[in-house]
């Protein structure tokens, strides 16, 4: 086999995962494959960015990995950083409904009710809202197999009140979007399958997630999320440190990718041209049509919407917070007169993120219908956030400092029909751009564990293409 080169475009979590997996397989099988990773900015890791300031550990981007998706934990183990992991605290969280805080109901999965008792005891809903929610147990399943919005599905099963006051704030918050537009099949096909298999989402959850037996000794609750003692940056730094046989090019964007008779040429900002036998494109979908401008069908990628959000992190002395709340944070419903969508009390949720006697709050803005807020100045954003917080917490004085991170058009949205759109794009790429693959959060899953898996699958595709029949 002649020497080959794989070029990975994009140094976020997907690109780093692809590079790490490729390097591991190439070294194990002693394959004559060179790997180059190109990143347009001066740092790797994409949205993951941990900083230290005055004894605080601050996440400017994502703050955790979902523990129930094993691929992230497996990667941490491979990298030798499993001993640095920590789980979130499992304190009380709240839902802000029409300007009043309610404890997050128990007996739910991702905000979706799965037990009758906790639903009926909840103070978050009226009696008529609870009865409508229980209709899920007897409503007939949908006969249509067409994709529908997540919001439409949940409203059909549980009614508007439970959706608006519980399901929507959680799922819209996770995906920074509008559940009434999100694709059920692309984001949570499991709920649709439960309806078809069991005739009810609640019945499906009861079967798949049964309550622990009462006679068993209760184990201490463990958080659903994990990070690292020094923040998520640990994962990025360790990945980068172990990419010791890979050429990494920073501060150099790919302007154009040209298909040649043999392989590809990649034109960089610097004017340099790289030759590649296989290209893994791990950048946001909005950048792809420009890189492959001769391929007009790829402009359909612009039909995948992307929302804008901002994280506003505020540090305080604990004594400044006059009405402290015993919990880890709250979500805001759409029917509340707030511009923030959620607030995490980071010093409570993640032990060791703030010095003794200090508090660290992390607020989110940029809900559907309020996208322009992320373009406001730092001072205006902090003022908006403090006004909202003071309706709930009564904070005295200004923060010790703040950190604001804006993600403009950075959260891809999987609207109804997303899977069909991605399928058309992939079919076109397979037919016209062999040995080039689009990977990342724009297509098949937006969470960090998903991105790790996207990278691994992309690496396997490259290896298969370059080693088969050689």
Q: How confident is the model at residue 212 (pLDDT cuts 50, 70, 90)?
A: low
pLDDT digits (tens, 9 = 90+) for 12-36: 999 999 999 999 999 999 999 999 9
The residue ranges of every structural domain in the chain are 4-42+245-304+415-469, 104-208, 307-412
pLDDT at 214: 56
Q: What is the pLDDT of residues 119-132, one digit of tens each?
A: 999 988 999 999 99
| Separation of alpha carbons 304 and 421, rounded Å | 8
The second-level CATH assignment, the architecture, of 104-208 is Orthogonal Bundle (1.10)
Mean pLDDT of all residues in 330-355: 93
| Tens-digit pLDDT profile for residues 61-94 | 999 999 988 999 999 999 999 999 999 987 888 9
The CATH architecture of the domain made up of 4-42+245-304+415-469 is: 3-Layer(bba) Sandwich (3.50)
Q: Is the pLDDT of residue 219 over 80?
A: no
pLDDT at 198: 96
Q: Are 38 and 252 in contact (CB under 8 A)?
A: yes
- Is it the case that residue 215 has pLDDT exceeding 70? no
Mean pLDDT calculated for residue range 103-123: 90
Mean pLDDT, the chain, rounded, equals 94
Give the pLDDT confidence of 260-293 residue by residue, as tens digits. 999 999 999 999 999 999 999 999 999 999 999 9
Cα–Cα distance between 466 and 464 in angstroms, integer?
6
Was domain 307-412 assigned CATH 3.40.50.300? no
Q: Which of 57-61, 322-326, 391-395 has the lowest mean pLDDT?
A: 322-326
Phi-psi region at 435: left, alpha or beta (left = phi > 0; alpha = psi -120 to 50) = left
pTM: 0.94
What band does 334 get if pLDDT is binned at 50, 70 and 90? confident
């Amino acid at each position: 086999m002649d020497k080959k080169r794989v070029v990975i475009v994009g140094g976020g979590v997907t690109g780093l995962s692809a590079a790490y997996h490729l390097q591991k397989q190439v070294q194990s099988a002693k394959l004559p494959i060179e790997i180059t990773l190109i990143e347009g900015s001066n740092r790797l890791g994409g949205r993951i960015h941990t900083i230290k300031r005055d004894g605080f550990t601050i996440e400017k981007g994502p703050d955790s990995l979902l523990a129930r998706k094993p691929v992230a934990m497996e990667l941490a183990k491979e990298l030798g950083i499993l001993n640095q992991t920590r789980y979130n605290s499992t304190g009380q969280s709240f839902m802000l409904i029409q300007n009043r805080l309610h404890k997050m109901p128990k007996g739910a999965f991702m905000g979706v009710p799965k037990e009758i008792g906790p639903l009926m005891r909840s103070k978050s809903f009226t009696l008529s809202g609870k009865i409508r929610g229980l209709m899920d147990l007897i409503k007939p399943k949908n006969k249509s197999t067409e994709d529908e919005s997540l919001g439409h599905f949940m409203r059909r099963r549980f009614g508007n009140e439970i959706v608006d006051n519980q399901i929507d704030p959680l799922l819209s918050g996770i995906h920074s979007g509008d559940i009434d537009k999100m694709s059920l099949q692309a984001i949570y096909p499991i709920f649709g399958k439960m309806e078809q298999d069991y005739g009810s989402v609640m019945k499906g959850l009861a079967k798949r997630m049964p309550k622990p037996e009462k006679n068993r000794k209760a184990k201490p609750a463990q958080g659903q999320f994990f990070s690292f003692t020094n923040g998520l940056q640990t994962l990025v730094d360790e990945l980068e440190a172990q990419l010791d046989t890979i050429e990494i090019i920073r501060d150099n964007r790919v302007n154009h990718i040209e298909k040649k008779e043999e392989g590809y040429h990649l034109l960089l900002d610097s004017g340099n041209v790289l030759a590649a036998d296989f290209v893994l494109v791990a950048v946001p979908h909005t950048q792809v049509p420009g890189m492959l401008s001769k391929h007009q069908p790829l402009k359909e990628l612009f039909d995948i919407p992307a929302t804008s959000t901002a994280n506003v992190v505020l540090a305080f002395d604990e004594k400044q917070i006059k009405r402290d709340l015993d919990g880890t944070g709250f979500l805001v419903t759409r029917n509340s007169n707030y511009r923030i969508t959620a607030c995490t009390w980071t010093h409570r949720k993640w032990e060791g993120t703030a010095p003794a006697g200090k508090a660290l709050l992390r607020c989110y803005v940029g809900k559907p219908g309020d996208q322009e807020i992320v373009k406001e100045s730092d001072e205006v954003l902090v003022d908006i956030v403090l006004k909202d917080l003071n309706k709930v917490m009564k904070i005295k004085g200004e923060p010790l400092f703040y950190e604001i991170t804006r993600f403009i058009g950075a959260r891809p949205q999987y609207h109804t029909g997303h899977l069909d759109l991605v399928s058309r794009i992939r079919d076109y790429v397979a037919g016209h751009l062999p040995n080039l693959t689009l990977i990342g959060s724009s297509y098949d899953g937006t969470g960090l564990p998903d991105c790790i898996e996207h990278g691994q699958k992309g690496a396997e595709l490259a290896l298969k293409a370059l080693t088969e029949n050689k």
